[in-house]
Structure 1
Amino acid sequence: MKLKFENQAYQLQAVASTVALFAGMKSLDLATMLQNKNELLSYDVVANGLQLDETLLLQNLQRVQVENYIENYSSELNYGDYENIPNFSIEMETGTGKTYVYLRTAFELNKHYGLSKFIIVVPSDAIRVGTIKALEITAEHFKAEYNNISYDYYPYDSEKISKVRDFATTNSIQIMVMTIAAFNKSKNNIYAFKDKFGEYRPIDLISAVNPVVIIDEPQSVDNTANAIEAIKNLNPLFILRYSATHKNDYNQIYKLDAIDAYNQKLVKQIEVASIDEAEFNNAGTVVPYIKVVEITPKLELSLELDVQDTKGKITRKVIKKIAKDTDLQEKTQNDKYYGYIVEDYSRDYGLKLSCLDNEIAIGESIGNEISIEQKAKIMLRLAIENHIDKELRLAARKIKVLSLFFIDRVADYRIHADDGTSDGWLAQAFIEELKLVLATPKGARYVELCQNTFGINLANNEELIKLHNGYFAKDKKGNYKDLKDDSTADAVDAYDLIMRDKEKLLDSKEPLRFIFSHSALKEGWDNPNVFQVCVLQDGKNQFKRRQQIGRGLRLCVNQFGERVFDDKVNTLTVIASESYNAFADNLQREYEASSENGGAGIKFGIVQKSAFVNSLLHDNLELSFDAARKISEDIHAELTVREFIDSNNKVTDKCKMQLQAGLFELSSAEIRQYQVLAKEILTKLAMRLPIKNQRDKRDIQINPKVYNNSAFKQLWRKISAKTIYSVSLNTDELINSVVTDINANLEVKNKALKITRSRINIDESGISTELMAQNELILQTNPQIDLVNKLALATGLTKKTIITILKQIAPHKLEMYKLNIDVFIEQVTTKINIQKSKLIVDGIKYTKVADLSLQDSVIGIEDHYLQERINEDIDHGYVDNNGGSNLADARYLKVAPELIANKFLYNVLRFDSSTEAKFLADCLLQDKVKLISKLPSWFKVNTPLGAYNPDWALLVNEENKDEVYFIAETKADNFLENGRAIEKAKTICGEKHFQDTLNVKYQVLSNAEQI
Structure 2
Amino acid sequence: MELILQNDLEHQQRPVINVASVIETSNVSEATAPHRNPEIYRWSLNSKTIYDIWVKEDIPHKYRRFVNNPNNVRVKRSEDMPSYQMMDIKMETGTGKTYVYTKTMFELHKRCGFNKFIIAVPTLPIKAGTSSFLEDSTVMRHFTDTCKYNARIELCVLKAQKTKNKGKLKFPTAVGRFFYGSKHEKNKIYVLLLNSQLLTNGKLLTREDYDQMVGEFHRPTDAIKDTRPVLIIDEPHRMERESKSFVSLIKSFEPQLVLRYGATFPEHTFGKGKNKSSEKDHINLVYDLNACEAFRQTLIKGVSKEHLELPGGKSAEKKIKITKINNTEKSVNMQYTTNDGNSHYVLHAGDSLSQIDPDLSGISISGISAKNIELSNGQIKETGMEFFPDQYSTSYQEGMLSLALKRHFETERELFERTPTRIKALALFFIDNIESYRGTENKNDGWLHNKFIELLKERLLFELSRKNDTEYQSYLQATLDNINDACAGYFSKDNQDSDENIAKEVSVILHGKKELISFKDKNGNWNIQRFLFSKWTLKEGWDNPNVFTICKLRSSGSEISKLQEVGRGLRLPVDEAGNRIVDKTFMLNYIVDFTEKDFATKLVEEINSDIMKKEIPPMELSISEIEKVAIMRGMTIKSLFMELIDKDYIGIDHKIILSNFDAFIVEYPEFNNINEKDGVDSSRIRNRNSERKGTIGIRKARFEEIRELWKKLNKKYVLYFEKGIEEELKKRLPEIIKEKNIFSHLSVSSDRRVVGIENDKAVSTEATGTQLLLNNRHMAYNEFLKRVSYFTCVPITILHEAICKAANNGTDISNEMFNENSSARLINAIDDWKAKNLAGMVKYKQANYHPKETRLTNADGSVKDEVAQAFIGRKRENKNVLLSPKYLYDTLAYDSDLERKNIMESDIDEIIVYGKIPSSSICIPTVASSNYSPDFMYVVKKKDGTKELNIVIETKGYDNESKIAEDEEIKISCAELFFNDISTEGYSVYFRKQINSKGIKDIIEELIKK
State TM-score, norm by structure 2. Answer: 0.50
Larger relative contact order (CA 8 Å, sep ≥ 6): 2
TM-score of the superposition, structure 1-length normalised?
0.50
